[in-house]
Structure 1
Amino acid sequence: HFPAGKSMADVEQACAETPFPALRSDPGPQTAVPAVP
């Protein structure tokens, strides 16, 4: 699952030959992730 507020559009796939698995997004408000200095 992707965190709430994220989707496949947020994935930077590294290998074009290997398909990324189909994942669904968790329901609810967008997940807050604090910035790392």
Structure 2
Amino acid sequence: MYFLSDIGGVSIIDRYVIFLQQKIDIMFTIAQIGFRNELS
């Protein structure tokens, strides 16, 4: 994995994983809000 490291020392794959996790968290939050709105 080290050959993909940039100046910051964080590999491109690590950044991509973090990006995907944030996207999933946002989608999950939106789904929860939508679910609550349907119930009320």
Please tell me the TM-score bracket, short chain as reference: under 0.3
RCO higher in 1 or 2 (8 Å CA, sep ≥ 6)? Answer: 1
The alignment's TM-score, normalised by the length of structure 2, stands at: 0.19
Larger Rg: 2
